[in-house]
Every structure is written in C-alpha cells, then in structure tokens.
Amino acid sequence: MTGSRPGRVWGLVAGEAARRGGRVSAADACAAAVAAVEVTGAWLIAARGAEAGHVMWVTDEVSELLAELQLTLGEGPGPDAWARGGPVLASDLGDSESARRWPVFAPAAGQAGAAAVFVFPLQVGAIRAGVMGLYRDRPGPLSGPELGDALVFADTATLLLLDAQNQAAGEAAPGSGPGGQPAGLAVHRAEIDQATGMLTEQLGVGIAEAFLRLRGYAYAHDQRLSDLARDIVARRLRLRPDPDPLEEGQA
Amino acid sequence: MDGELLSATFVELTDTLVVGFDVIDFLHVLTDRSAQLLNVSAAGLLLADPRGELRVVAASSEAARVLELFQLQSDQGPCLDCFRSGRPVAAADLAAEAARWPRFAPAAREAGFAAVQALPMRLREQVIGALNLFSADAGALAPADVRVGQALADVATISLLHERSMRHSDTLNEQLQTALNSRVIIEQAKGKLAERLGLDMDQAFSLLRDQARTSNRRLSDLARGFVDGSEPLTGLTVIKTRQRLPGDGLPRPQSPPG
C-alpha cells in the first residue's frame, strides 16, 4: 500500500546502514535507492546556497564520472535540477531533446555507459542540501512506483544530509534517534513549513537552521513535528534565540 | 455567469506554452476563476503526488486550503472520494452529511461552508487530482455551473498533460514536483512574513501575491527570494486593517510566554 512507502523506504535505508555497520547517512539512502528503484548506479552531491557543490558519494565509476562531468561542465540534468528546484528525468540520453539540452554531457554520458539519468534535488522548499542522481545503462522512464520510491529516497537523503551538514558545523543532529526515523518524514504539512518560516524571524536565523531548530525542539520534547508546528503557527508557542533547545519555554 | 471572464479563463487555461509557465500560478488561476465564475465561496485543488499522497496545490482562500489539508489529514471528504472514484461528488447540505464524513462535514461547516462539489481532474483513465468548490450557502450548484466547472477542470487537466514533448509524462512529473516544492517555499515565506508583520497566514499570502503581481514576478521566485534573504521586501506595509472573523481560529500575534 502506498501509505507505507516512507516507512518501507526508511527500513531499507536503515538496513543499508546496518549492513555497512555505521550510522544512517545520506549515502545509505542512495545505496538503498539503487537496489529498490532498479537503477545501475547513483551519486550524491552536497551543496548549499550558490555553491557548485562537491561529490559526496558514488556507487561506481560511471556514477563518479557522471557526477564529475556535470560539476565540471555545469551542464546536464544535475545542474538543471539544481537550478530549477525540481527533478530532471532524462529517460533517454540518446534522444534529440537530450542532445539539444546537453550537447556536451549527453553524448559523453552515453559513451560512459549511461542511457538514462534521473536527478532529484535534495530540498525542503527553500532549504537546499544537494542532489541525488540515478542512472541506468538502458533507456526508459521510471515507472510510477519507481518514481514514487525515488522521491521518498530523496526526501530521506535530504534530512540525513541536512543533519550531517549541521553536525559538520558543530551542532547536534536532532532528527534521528537510535534506530528511529528522522523527524519530518511524515506527510508534509503546510504548518511545518509555515512554522519554519516563522522561526527564521523568531530566532533570527536562516531557513535551514530554523528547520533544524524546529526538528530539534520536537525531538528534545518528544513531540510530533506537526503538533509542534501547529502550536507555533497558532502562536501558542514561541522559540527563543537560545542555543539550547531544552531551555526553551512552552506556553 | 460572466461570459467574457469565462472565455478569458479558457484562454488562460490553455496557455501553458508561454515562457516561464508556472504550474502553481496556473492552478491558482483555475481555483480563483472557478470560485468567481461559478459563484462559490472558495475553491481548492488536490493533485496526486507520485509518492502516493494527494497534495494541496492551490486554493482560492486560506479557509479552503486549510479544509483541503484537513481532508488529507483526516483521510476523508468529498475531494478524496472524487479522486478515488474519478467521478464528481456533491453534497448540497453538509449539515446532512455527518454520517458520510463524520470529521470533514463538521469541520467544513465550522469553516463557514454549507455545501461542496468536487470535480475530478481526469483524462481518460488517468485521474491526476480533484477540484473542490465550497459554498457558504446550502444548495446544489446549478447543473450548468457543474458543467462549466467540469469543463474548466478538464481543460486544465488536458493542458497539464499536453504532450509538450515526447517525454510528456516525465515533463508533467518534473513540473509537479517543482510545483510541490514551490508550494513549500510559499508556505515558508508566508510564515516568515506573517511573523515579521504580525499577520495571519491568509493576509501574508495575499500580501505576497499582490507583491508578485505588482512587481510582475512569479510568486514562487518572489517567495524563494524572500525566504533566502535576497529579496528583503522591506517596503511591504499592510494597508488594510487586520480583520478577524469570529471563531476563525486563526492566530493572533502574542508576546512570548513568561
């Protein structure tokens, strides 16, 4: 049933991490996607703001080449997905449309062994973490269920990557309790986005940090993210620009 | 019915090949014009996300948007029934529908709506979403209005599914995902603006839309610029006095507790 997709996807991602013997990461989401979506390989590019980004992780040599090529050329489905803020589904790199859009990348990718490329921006609204790319050695579109899975793997990778970026910046990751599911994987509710926007003003921080603080507060107070967001939107709760989420007052 | 507005709307709803076409703006045209033309209080639109969920993509008012969200959260209501069956669903008097939709019917009435008509967005076997028309007064829509409403939904569906290239289903999916993320950006921008100016979400949205219109920008671009700080929108002021409907449950700014 479609309703269980996020749960099923999270199980596959966690299983990948367990096999690897490490903490769940965006790379696990990518690796699990390769198996579940039945693609040949995948890559992960981390980026923030206007930066071009850097290759974080690849499954094979072809993926590495595809990722590097697009970063070097600034051309291809990846840069387009990043610029547009939506996925780019190039189901046949050999067709005229691809040749027109990516005159250098499309033939080069074909030569390397990629016949179809699907790139998903890792984003939550204006919060951007990078892109996840998938490739196949045969042409053809993703089926409906494959696309649905790929999108949820990308959602999962987004949260994991945002946590990792914040950890790298010296902040605690709020989202993933041991063996737990990252907060925010639930059906996306408008209140969560509105509350995130409100927190940028309340806390005087950027949108990515506001989202982190929202999730951190929910995690620290064992609250559902959507309930917390509703309280903030209804102005029953304000967060203070205080680095310790546990110190914050509740109305 | 305003015949001129109707023909203008059909032109707008087929004009998807324009440079800078934006699915969100397009669907807002559909909800806004439907509400105007069919003399209903509000219209809301759900589209199917390949993730397996329905998503609220456009609404002519915040009340309609909240009610669409409520249907999704409570997993019940005319828009869901319409999407699942691919057929129109009507309720001329929500006061009599408590058995059919025990959670939705009271919520809709509390939001000020007495009747609802849901129309599928469907092309042959493919149902991509549903359009909900909400009326403040009880009573069924006139059959002619239902036909016009369905025609608007059909034209919009065909335009969205139009084969703009060989990769048409890929194109629709790309645009839909971009639109869904734009929706998230707009919600983030609403929150930021609402908090900054002490507005409720509906007012914040109106202000953003007005600003996008007067500056001739796409709403999603403006919203992104405002959220990421490249578009400070410092000149924005609220001209109208804040109005609150009794019992609308919408928030009011408060000083921090304690």
Residue of A nearest to B186 (CA): A125
Closest by Cβ to A207, choosing from B195, B228, B253: B228
Listed by number, the residues of chain B in 27-46 with a beta carbon closer than 8 Å to a beta carbon of chain A are: none
Contact A233 B201 (CB under 8 A): yes
B248: pLDDT strictly greater than 60 = no
A interface mutation test: which of B170, B252, B255 has the most A CBs within 10 A? B170
Q: Tell whether A45 is covered by a domain.
A: yes
Residue B44 Cα, gap to closest chain A Cα (Å): 14
Q: What is the mean pLDDT of chain B?
A: 85
pTM: 0.83
Tell me the one-letter amino acid at B108: A
Residue A58 Cα, gap to closest chain B Cα (Å): 24
Residue A240 Cα, gap to closest chain B Cα (Å): 8
Q: What pLDDT, on a 0 to 100 scale, did the predictor assign at position A4?
A: 74
List every span in chain B annotated with CATH 3.30.450.40.
3-162
Q: Tell whether A181 is covered by a domain.
A: no
**Crossing angle between the packed helical segments A61-73 and A105-112, to the nearest 10 degrees:** 170
Q: Which residues contact B117 (CB under 8 A, 6 or more apart)?
A: B40, B78, B88, B89, B90, B91, B132, B133, B135, B140, B141, B146, B149
Q: Tell whether A35 is covered by a domain.
A: yes
Confidence of residue A154 (pLDDT cuts 50, 70, 90): very high
Task: Return the number of other C-beta atoms located less than 10 Å from residue A148's C-beta.
Answer: 20
Q: What total of structural domains would you count in chain A? A: 2
Closest by Cβ to B252, choosing from A121, A197, A235: A235
Q: List pLDDT tens digits, range B10-59.
A: 888 887 666 667 777 788 889 999 999 999 999 999 988 888 888 888 88
**Crossing angle between the packed helical segments B23-37 and B168-197, to the nearest 10 degrees:** 80
Q: Tell whether A176 is covered by a domain.
A: no
Are both A154 and A197 inside the same structural domain? no
Are both A139 and A196 inside the same structural domain? no
Q: Which residues contact B253 (CB under 8 A, 6 or more apart)?
A: A235, B195, B198
Are both A156 and A196 inside the same structural domain? no
Residue of B nearest to A95 (CA): B166
Contact A87 B73 (CB under 8 A): no
Residue of A nearest to B257 (CA): A251
Q: Which residues contact B103 (CB under 8 A, 6 or more apart)?
A: B70, B74, B76
Instruction: Assign domain B3-162 one CATH number from 3.30.450.40, 3.40.30.10, 3.40.50.2000, 3.40.50.410.
Output: 3.30.450.40
Q: What pLDDT, on a 0 to 100 scale, did the predictor assign at position B238?
A: 59
- Of A133-137, B197-201, B237-241, where does mean pLDDT reach its minimum? B237-241
Confidence of residue B66 (pLDDT cuts 50, 70, 90): confident
Confidence of residue B258 (pLDDT cuts 50, 70, 90): very low
Q: Is the pLDDT higher at A4 or at B257?
A: A4
B201: pLDDT strictly greater than 70 = yes
Q: Sign (positive/negative) of CA torsion A109, A112, A118, A119?
A: negative
A157: pLDDT strictly greater than 70 = yes
Are both A106 and A162 inside the same structural domain? yes
Q: Is the pLDDT higher at B173 or at B23?
A: B173
Q: Is the pLDDT higher at B91 or at A170?
A: B91
Q: Is the pLDDT higher at A55 or at A188?
A: A55
Q: List pLDDT tens digits, range B119-149.
A: 999 988 889 899 999 999 999 999 999 999 9
Q: Tell whether A182 is covered by a domain.
A: no
Contact B52 A206 (CB under 8 A): no
Confidence of residue A172 (pLDDT cuts 50, 70, 90): low
B6: pLDDT strictly greater than 80 = yes
A176: pLDDT strictly greater than 60 = no
User: Which whole-number Å values give the CA distances from B234 to A79, A202, B197, B206, B231, in the listed order?
Assistant: 32, 17, 11, 16, 8
Q: Is the pLDDT higher at B16 or at A182?
A: B16
Q: Residue B157: which of B48, B3, B20 has the closest Cα? A: B48
Backbone φ/ψ region at B22: left (φ over 0), alpha (ψ -120 to 50), beta: beta
Contact B170 A190 (CB under 8 A): no
Q: What is the mean pLDDT of chain A?
A: 87
User: Which whole-number Å values give the CA distances from A4 to A10, A148, B132, B133, in the listed order?
Assistant: 10, 12, 26, 30
Question: DSSP character for B60?
Answer: S
Q: What pLDDT, on a 0 to 100 scale, did the predictor assign at position A251?
A: 43
Q: Which residues contact A14 (CB under 8 A, 6 or more apart)?
A: A24, A28, A179
Mean local confidence (pLDDT), B95-105: 95
User: Is residue B85 within 8 Å of B47, Cβ to Cβ?
Assistant: no
Contact A86 B174 (CB under 8 A): yes
Listed by number, the residues of chain B in 148-167 with a beta carbon closer than 8 Å to a beta carbon of chain A are: 165-167
Task: Give me the CATH number covering residue A237.
Answer: 1.10.10
Contact B196 A240 (CB under 8 A): no
Q: Which residues contact B147 (CB under 8 A, 6 or more apart)?
A: none
Q: What pLDDT, on a 0 to 100 scale, did the predictor assign at position A170?
A: 60
Closest by Cβ to A148, choosing from B50, B224, B228: B50
Are both A63 and A148 inside the same structural domain? yes
Closest by Cβ to B173, choosing from A95, A147, A202: A147
What residues in A contact B48, CB-CB < 8 Å?
A: none
Q: Tell whether A17 is covered by a domain.
A: yes
Q: Residue A131: which of A160, A168, A157 has the closest Cα? A: A157
Contact B174 A88 (CB under 8 A): yes
Q: What percent of chain B has pLDDT over 70?
A: 86
Give the three-state DSSP class for A117: strand
Confidence of residue B159 (pLDDT cuts 50, 70, 90): confident
Contact B195 A147 (CB under 8 A): no
Give the three-state DSSP class for A127: strand
Residue of A nearest to B221 (CA): A126
Q: List pLDDT tens digits, range A70-105.
A: 999 999 999 999 998 999 999 999 999 899 999 999
Q: What pLDDT, on a 0 to 100 scale, did the predictor assign at position A91?
A: 95
Q: Nearest 5 degrees, angle CA B105-CA B83-CA A156?
A: 100
Task: Give me the CATH number covering residue A46.
Answer: 3.30.450.40
Q: Is B15 on the interface with A (CB under 8 A)?
A: no
Q: Is B232 on the interface with A (CB under 8 A)?
A: no
Q: Tell whether A232 is covered by a domain.
A: yes
Burial of B93 (0-12, 13-18, 19+ CB in 10 A): middle
Q: What pLDDT, on a 0 to 100 scale, did the predictor assign at position B24?
A: 75
DSSP assignment of B3-35 equals HHHHHHHHHHHH---STT--HHHHHHHHHHHHH
Contact A249 B257 (CB under 8 A): yes
Q: Is B213 on the interface with A (CB under 8 A)?
A: no
Mean local confidence (pLDDT), B221-249: 69
Domain enclosing residue A197, as ranges: 190-247
Give the three-state DSSP class for B232: coil
